Amino acid sequence: MSECVFCKIVAGEGEASVVHRGGSVMAFLDINPINQGHVLVVPHIHYERFSNVDVPVLGEMMHVAQRVLQAIETSKIACDGANIFLSDGEVAGQEVPHTHLHIAPRFKEDGHRMGFSGIHLGGASRESLNGTAKLIADAMKR
């Protein structure tokens, strides 16, 4: 049996507070929410990384994320906005190696901050930005 905590939930062998079960994804509450209504959208298949997710599944993940957020917005859960995010890889803060989208409702003065350290690459000239754009665009053609 898989050791993955999300695979166990998908298989019905792990406890979860489920908000949606669909064709290829499910959505359940994060066990350690940053605010009420913090939901995870999780594909049934154990894709460890974002890059591996099949496009139709990716589409369903995004669609379910939107529906979950729309539902939260019409509920009595405090939600003036939301952070929808995915941490890909340990270095990016991914703790559960089964890719998943977070939908984290936010409200004014909820005490949270999201974002990076504030350190930016200094002096990104147009030349250097164009060089980086070419690296990625060329790789996308392969």
Q: Is 26 exposed, middle or buried (0-12, 13-18, 19+ CB in 10 A)?
A: buried
Q: How far is the CB of 42 from ligand AMP (least distance, A)?
A: 9
Q: How far is the CB of 107 from ligand AMP (least distance, A)?
A: 19
| Between 24 and 83, CB nearer to ligand AMP | 83
Return the number of the residue (24 or 94) whose C-beta is nearest ligand AMP.
94
CB of 27 to ligand AMP, least distance (A): 11
Q: Among candidates 12, 10, 8, 101, which has minimal Cα distance to 60?
A: 101
Q: How far is the CB of 100 from ligand AMP (least distance, A)?
A: 6
Give the separation between CA 37 and CA 106, rounded to whole angstroms. 10
Q: What is the largest CA-CA distance in the chain?
A: 53
Q: Is 102 among the residues known to form the active site?
A: no
Of 95 and 109, the one with the shorter C-beta distance to ligand AMP is 95
Cα-only R_g, the chain: 18
What whole-number distance in Å separates Cα of residue 131 and Cα of residue 39? 38
* Residue whose CB is less far from ligand AMP, 32 or 117: 32
Q: Are 26 and 10 in contact (CB under 8 A)?
A: yes
Catalytic residue among 63, 100, 112, 120: 100
Which residues bind to ligand AMP, rule: CB under 6 A? 5, 14, 16, 30-32, 40, 87, 93-96
One-letter amino acid at 17 equals S
Active site residues: 100
